[in-house]
Chain A
Amino acid sequence: MGMTLVEKILAKAAGVEKVSPGEIIIAKVDIAMSHDTTTPLAIKPFFEIAERVFNENKVVIFFDHVVPPANIRSAILHKKIRDFIEKAGIKNVHMEGVCHQVLAEKYVKPGDIVIGADSHTCTHGALGAFATGVGSTDIATVYALGKIWLRVPETYRMNILGKLKRGVYAKDVILNIIGYIGADGAVYKSIEFHGDLIKEFSVSSRLTLTNMVIEMSAMNGIIEADEKTLDYIGRKGTIFHSDKDAEYEEVFDFEMNDLEPQVAKPHSVDNVTDISEVEGLEIDQAFIGTCTNGRVEDIRIATQILDGHKVKEGVRLIVTPASNRVYLECLRKGYIEKLLRAGAIVTNPGCGPCLGRHQGVLAPNEVAISTSNRNFMGRMGSPEAKIYLASPATVAASAVEGKIADPRRYL
């Protein structure tokens, strides 16, 4: 029996010939990451077992969740983290965007084991790496020892087939899949994406796809690396392929020819519907950004729709480029100027209003449409607010109309 590419990456990291689902392995970690929300609880456990990080080249710390600090409590946590960085000998420190975007731009290679203290670490599977999220104690032990215990996951193979209609994007594809599989439909599974559509997708679109596998509770999502991957990252890596006789727990064929723009309704990500069901619903805030949809491709589509239009009076459109690199490219291409002229608020790169701490917090009974990945009750502010999730195109069109709108009218 052959192996999947995840099993091959895990076997290599564990220093063994073969691994099988269910087995617990100790794997060597190539990139370990935490940020301003998850680092604080890692500090005490780290110093109980180590003084310095295991390898200064493999540890990366981000300030991205609340940057710059929005209040005294955040500022105190940032300061604690800076002391930790100094004492533990950490040299890779970034405050230039969302951890996952900057990691993809600067660190991750195909074949890597990426362990991050953030649930959306699964994003990096789009680059042919095994990437998964953990908590603070786990990342503290990785920082100390360079290793982690992992239970080898069973794999769902998902073949994404067909051609997308105009106005339909990777975000619509992954929302549709989550709606079908359910929020708890892939607990602990590895999801391997294949199919014509995946090959056709840009790396940016692929990152949107793997970013959201955690929303069906998968351990990781992965896409075999190809030339596009290597072009995007500008680095070499080890490209693994699944064997023809690899074992899958289940194989799904998703035919996407007829897919309409999708929207996830409050308060769960699997509460997904075609746009026609929610069209016309009035909104107070529209948000474009995050590790899901804050890249150049996303901001380009939003600009295309907003160019020559105005954000509806009374609506806040917040655009948060996912990284400084994204921000600079959008500036050079003239997107930022067009967005500002349309009435958007453009913030510094980071997680922005996604987790409800700053830069666009919702009042009770307000309605937001967002390109982010979670619409849990209270996620972006008041628990009495409502959050709808959609593609950058749908969010941009909704900002123009002041209500949830089908982007195809603007394309």
Chain B
Amino acid sequence: MRIWRFGDNINTDYITPGRLNLTDDPKELAKIAFKEYRPEFSEKVKKGDIIVAGKNFGCGSSRETAPVALKAAGIRAVIAKSFARIFFRNAINIGLPVIICKEADIIKEDDIVEIDLKKGIINIVNRNVALQCEKLPEFILKIIEAGGLINYIKIHGKLG
């Protein structure tokens, strides 16, 4: 498990480039994740890895291939100082946990972190540091708990 650090304003064209984004197969999408922006990502990413980014992660295009590719590549969660709205929704809808943490910069690439979504806390285990994050609204937590929007609707029989 490792942390992948990214900066501010990482757009969805960088995550799944438009020209390569020509499939609906998650495994194929995982292969193109950050293909041009950070070529070693798709080769070295492992199940359970976490992305830690700056402001406005996932801005730009509404393409859901972006969170689908990250999830299929094994990414366990994305932590960012802030998220672009559509990426944030898309990630929640497909069951990829997203955490807004203003202090995300404290997390280093070799840290080991545990995330408590309900309490909105990130524990950096190796350094015994706890970061307070933004607590997600109850409704959104329920969607994540269900494993995504479609499962939520199946469980509850309706949207709300």
> A residues bordering B, Cβ < 8 Å?
24, 26, 37-38, 40-41, 43-45, 48-49, 71, 73-74, 77, 80, 117-119, 121, 133-138, 140-141, 144-145, 147-149, 151, 183-184, 187-188, 214, 217, 219, 268, 355-357, 361, 374, 376-379, 381, 383
Query: Given the complex, which residues of A lie within 8 Å of B93, measured CB to CB?
Result: 135, 137-138
Q: List 27 A-B contacts (CB under 8 A).
A: A24-B140, A26-B159, A38-B62, A38-B63, A41-B65, A45-B150, A48-B150, A73-B23, A77-B23, A133-B62, A135-B67, A135-B90, A136-B64, A137-B64, A137-B94, A137-B150, A141-B159, A145-B158, A147-B160, A149-B139, A184-B9, A217-B56, A217-B84, A357-B18, A376-B11, A378-B17, A383-B17
Which of B21, B37, B90, B154 interacts with A49 by CB under 8 Å?
Answer: B154
Interface of A is mostly: mixed
Q: Please, which residues of chain B bring their CB within 8 A of the CB of A138?
A: 89-90, 93, 149
Look across to chain B and name the residue whose beta carbon is closest to the beta carbon of A384: B36
Contact at A41–B18, with CB atoms within 8 Å? no
Interfacial chain A residues near B13, Cβ < 8 Å: 374, 376-379
Give the residues in chain A near B59, CB-CB below 8 Å.
Answer: 183-184, 217
Question: Is there a chain A Cβ closer than 8 Å to B153's Cβ?
Answer: yes
Residues of chain B with a CB closer than 8 A to A117's CB = 62, 64
CB distance from A368 to the nearest CB of B (A): 15
Once the chains bind, are A141 and B8 in contact (CB under 8 Å)? no
Q: Give Cα distance in the complex from A101 to B150, angstroms.
A: 30
Q: Pick the contact of A141: B21, B83, B149 (CB < 8 A).
A: B149
The 6 A-B residue pairs whose C-beta atoms are closest, nearest first, are A184-B56, A135-B90, A135-B64, A137-B93, A73-B22, A40-B24
Distance (Å) between the CB of A37 and the closest chain B CB?
A: 7
Whole-angstrom distance from the CB of A320 to the nearest CB of chain B? 16
Which of B23, B61, B154 counts the most chain A CB atoms within 10 A? Answer: B61
User: CA A77 – CA B59 in complex, angstroms?
Assistant: 25
Query: How does the 8 Å CB contact mask read for B1-31 relative to A, with 1 for contact and 0 for none?
Result: 0000000110101100111011110000000
Residues of chain A with a CB closer than 8 A to B84's CB: 187, 217
Q: Is A41's CB under 8 angstroms from B62's CB?
A: no
The interface on chain B, measured as residues whose beta carbon lies within 8 A of the other chain's beta carbons, has a size of 45
Hey, what's the 0/1 contact readout for B75-103 against A, CB within 8 Å counting as 1?
Answer: 00000001111100110011000000000
B120 within 8 A of A: no
Q: Which of B9, B19, B37, B85 contacts A188 (CB 8 A)?
A: B85
Flag if A383 contacts B56 (CB, 8 Å).
Answer: no
**B89 and A135 contact, CB distance less than 8 A:** yes
Cβ distance A144 to chain B, nearest Cβ, rounded Å = 8
Contacts A135-B89, A135-B90, A188-B85: A377 and B14 contacting too (C-beta < 8 A)? yes
Contacts beyond the supplied A77-B22, A135-B90, A361-B19: 9 A-B pairs with Cβ under 8 Å: A37-B18, A38-B63, A41-B64, A49-B153, A137-B149, A148-B159, A184-B56, A217-B56, A357-B18
Given contacts A117-B62, A118-B62, A134-B86, contact A80 B14 (CB under 8 A): no
Decide: B60 and A374 in contact? CB cutoff 8 A.
Answer: yes
* B154:A38 contact, CB within 8 angstroms: no
Return chain B residues, CB-CB under 8 Å to A48: 150, 154
Residues of B within 8 A of A (CB): 8-9, 11, 13-14, 17-19, 21-24, 36-37, 55-56, 59-65, 67-68, 82-86, 89-90, 93-94, 137, 139-140, 148-150, 153-154, 158-160
Say whether B60 contacts A376, CB under 8 Å. Answer: yes
Return the chain B residue nearest A356 by Cβ: B19
Chain A nearest CB from B84 CB (Å) reads 5
Q: Within 8 Å CB of B137, what residues of A? A: 24, 151
The docked-state distance in angstroms from the alpha carbon of A121 to that of B19 is 21
Q: Are A141 and B36 in contact (CB under 8 A)?
A: no
| Known A-B contacts A141-B153, A187-B84; A378 and B63 likewise in contact (beta carbons under 8 Å) | no
Q: Give the distance in Å from the alpha carbon of A44 to the alpha carbon of B24 in the complex.
A: 10
Alpha-carbon separation in the docked complex, A45 to B93 (Å):
10
| Cβ 8 A contact of A119, one of B8, B56, B60, B154 | B60
Given A38-B62, A376-B13, A377-B37, the answer on whether A137 and B148 have CB atoms closer than 8 Å is: yes
Q: Which residues of B contact A376 (CB under 8 A)?
A: 11, 13-14, 60
Specify which of B24, B36, B65 is in contact with A378 (CB 8 Å cutoff). Answer: B36
Q: Chain A residues near B63 (CB, 8 Å)? A: 37-38, 135
* Chain A, residue nearest B158 (CB): A145
Q: Tell me whether B24 and A134 are in contact (CB under 8 A).
A: no
Q: Are B62 and A135 in contact (CB under 8 A)?
A: yes
Q: Is the CB of A184 within 8 A of B55?
A: yes
A residues in contact with B148, CB < 8 Å: 137
B56 touches which of A49, A136, A151, A187 (Cβ 8 Å): A187
Check if A184 sits within 8 Å of B154, measured CB to CB. Answer: no
Residues of A within 8 A of B158 (CB): 145
Whole-angstrom distance between the Cβ of B50 and the nearest chain A Cβ: 21
B62 engages A187 (CB within 8 Å)? no
CA distance A144 to B153 in the complex (A): 11
A75 to chain B, nearest CB (A): 10
